[in-house]
Amino acid sequence: MAGFVGRDHELDSLGAHLNWVRSGQADQRGRAVLLRGRRRVGKSRLVDVFCARAGVPQVLFQATRGQSAAVERERFLAAIRQSDLPDTSLLEGIEHVAAWDTALRQLAAVLPDDQPSIVVLDEFPWLIEGDPVIEGALQTVWDRALSHKPVLLIIIGSDLAIMDHLSDYGRPFHQRGVEMQLAPLNPLEVGHLTGLAPADAFDAYLITGGLPLICQEWRAGESRTEFLTRTLQDPTSPLLVSGERSLAAEFRSALQARTVLTAVGSGERTFTSITRAAGSADHPLAAGTLNPLLKSLARKQLLAIDTPLSTKPGDRDRRYRVADPYLRFWLAFLEAGISEVERGRGNQVAAAIERSWRSWRGRAIEPVIREALARLLPDEQWPQARQIGGWWPRTNQPELDLVAADREPARVISCVGSIKWREGDGNAFGTHDYAALARDALAVPGVDETTPLIAVSRSGCTIDAPTAVYEPEQLIQAWT
């Protein structure tokens, strides 16, 4: 389909599942795929493209949040009747059914026996919200009818908490579906899509979060400042509106959770500072209220929880951050700038981002670097480096950007390191940076004078002292 880029691996995976159905070699002819991923990451678009290329009869049903179960069943039957399944005439005159069990059996009745077909249930968690009985009904009809047909059933959901547990032990659909997660585009894919060199591709990733709709707005070779200046002239641009739409879907009624997420997005990292920022100066948010909110946000994979990595357990010194890079950028810069863009003052928003960019990026890049190293290690040089993290005491002084260890808490610390993500002449990792790293590293439990020290630098290294140096060109290859 025109305008669709990337996702070749995911399309191949769906194609392999359809080929399994087509082969007809198993006792169970049908296969179910549980496709989950963050909102706006392109799940529906991926499946639309796959279905358009598959060339088999299919029915696609998109649930509507907040709609009654009775209306959803009517829409479901209408979608079947309007599909290209060969025997939809069997449903003529059937517009109302009293239960999902009946509606799903009507679907099974019209699916072909002599050729493969595809059935898509998009935003399945919304159907569960409207009528929890559908989960058990789907299991029953799958076991007794649907799985006996050569059908590929694709169940899509953006509520990661629900989708993650859909096939858990004790849930009706346990062990009945193949799980598949659609992640955002990674930094390497963002670089390919934007035509940027590795260092600038990491910047683009921090801004777009790898969301395809936003990445496709980035003109080939366009710099960060050019992209932001141009895009922030348009109040309807995907960069600006995707954050609000995603959060509106996540927090229709959970206003306190949204406030907590905004507090973390503004830079608050500790439990104490979040209680103050999410409440008021005179009435900080109570710990008994904040704890379940943080757990809920982590369950939804909106918040990430980091603990210091060393030979001592660090659970008591947790730090919180927005898990999604795009939402982190949006909450930090764009949420407050929407009204300015709508008044035609996008240049001022872009200028404000530029003034704060280097200090904000210095912290935002850290989890991305840790993920890259977690993909590159262990290797021959660091065979025990199976866990990558950072370290900090309760006072936050000193902080170590990188700690590589065998597990958490560590028995053996392979190396510790510093991230210097500065650009421009004179900003390479140098003698002063190494001296600070060597001094601070000794504060980490499990580190001594013999522990290797490493450097991660956007602009290279001017000294030979670090045991290893990682630069953008090497780091981005972690996603090959």
Tens of pLDDT, residue by residue over 177-195, are: 999 999 999 999 999 999 9
Average pLDDT over residues 211-238: 96
On whether residue 319 sits in a domain, the answer given is yes
Count Cβ atoms below 10 Å from residue 314 Cβ, excluding itself.
21
pLDDT tier, 131 (very low <50, low <70, confident <90, very high otherwise): very high
Cross-strand bridge partners of residue 58:
118
Is residue 28, in this structure, part of any structural domain at all? yes
Q: How far is it, in rounded angstroms, from Cα 275 to Cα 339? A: 27
Q: What is the pLDDT of residues 345-379, one digit of tens each?
A: 999 999 999 999 999 999 999 999 999 999 999 99
Q: What pLDDT does residue 170 have?
A: 85
What DSSP state is assigned to residue 132?
T
Question: 319: which strand partners?
Answer: 306
Residue count (the chain): 480
CA distance 215 to 264: 25
Tokens (6 digits) for 282? 């005179």
Tokens of residue 227, six digits: 């992209």
Q: What is the dihedral angle through the alpha carbons of 291, 292, 294, 300, rounded to the nearest 10 degrees? A: 160
Inform me whether the pLDDT recorded for 292 exceeds 70: yes
- Cβ atoms of residues 201 and 190 within 8 Å: yes
Q: 13 to each of 10, 23, 32, 360, 402, how far by Cα in Å?
A: 5, 15, 13, 37, 35
pLDDT-derived band of residue 283, with 50, 70 and 90 as boundaries?
confident
Q: Are residues 168 and 89 in the same domain?
A: yes
Q: Which one-letter amino acid corresponds to residue 308?
A: P
**pLDDT category, 5, cuts 50, 70, 90?**
low
Helix (H) and strand (E) counts in the chain = 20, 12
Residue ending a domain, among 147, 181, 215, is 181
Helix H or strand E segment including 401: strand 400-405
CA 373 to chain centre: 18
* 48: confidence class by pLDDT, cuts 50, 70, 90: very high
Structural domain ending residue among the three candidates 133, 158, 181: 181
The predicted structure's pLDDT at residue 1:
44
pLDDT, residue 2, reads: 43
> Can you tell me the mean pLDDT for 252-280?
89
Same domain, yes or no, for 38 and 137? yes
Residue at a domain's end among 155, 181, 207: 181
Q: What angle do CA 317, 322, 327 make, to 5 degrees?
A: 170
Residue 477: per-residue pLDDT: 98
Number of separate domains in the chain: 3
| 196 touches 204 (CB < 8 A) | yes
Pair (231, 260) in one structural domain: yes
Does a structural domain hold residue 69? Answer: yes
Has residue 146 got a pLDDT over 50? yes
Same domain, 346 and 216: yes
Q: What pLDDT does 350 receive?
A: 97
In a domain, 3, yes or no: no
Amino acid at 188: L
Strand pairing report for 468-470 and 453-457: parallel
Q: Is residue 261 part of a domain?
A: yes
pLDDT over 80 at 66, yes or no: yes
Q: Are residues 51 and 162 in the same domain?
A: yes
In this structure, are 29 and 143 located in the same domain?
A: yes
One-letter amino acid of 43: K
| Mean pLDDT computed over every residue of the chain | 93
Same domain? For 13 and 140 the reply is yes
CATH number at 16 reads: 3.40.50.300
> What does the block give as tokens for 195?
């035509």
Q: Report yes or no on 2 lying in a domain.
A: no
Q: Tell me the one-letter amino acid at 143.
A: D
Phi (first) and psi of residue 388, to 5 degrees: -120, 130
Q: Which of 20-29, 123-132, 393-402 has the lowest mean pLDDT?
A: 20-29
Residue 62 has pLDDT above 50, yes or no: yes
Considering the domain architecture, whether residues 329 and 373 belong to the same structural domain is answered as no
Q: Are residues 332 and 383 in the same domain?
A: no
Three-state SS at 117: strand
Whether 40 shows a pLDDT value over 90: the answer reads no
Residue 89 reports pLDDT greater than 90 = no
| pLDDT, tens digit, 9 for 90 and up, residues 293-326 | 999 999 888 999 999 999 999 999 999 999 999 9
Residue 418 pLDDT > 60, yes or no?
A: yes
Do 339 and 448 share a structural domain? no
pLDDT of residue 284: 82
Range of the domain at 57: 8-181
| pLDDT tens profile 378-407 | 999 999 999 999 999 999 999 999 999 999
- Looking at the domain assignment, is residue 428 inside a domain? yes
On whether both 139 and 224 belong to a single domain, the answer is: no
- Does the residue 1 lie in any domain? no
Q: Averaged over 227-246, what is the pLDDT?
A: 95
Same domain (yes/no): 127, 74: yes
Per-residue pLDDT averaged across 285-290, rounded? Answer: 90
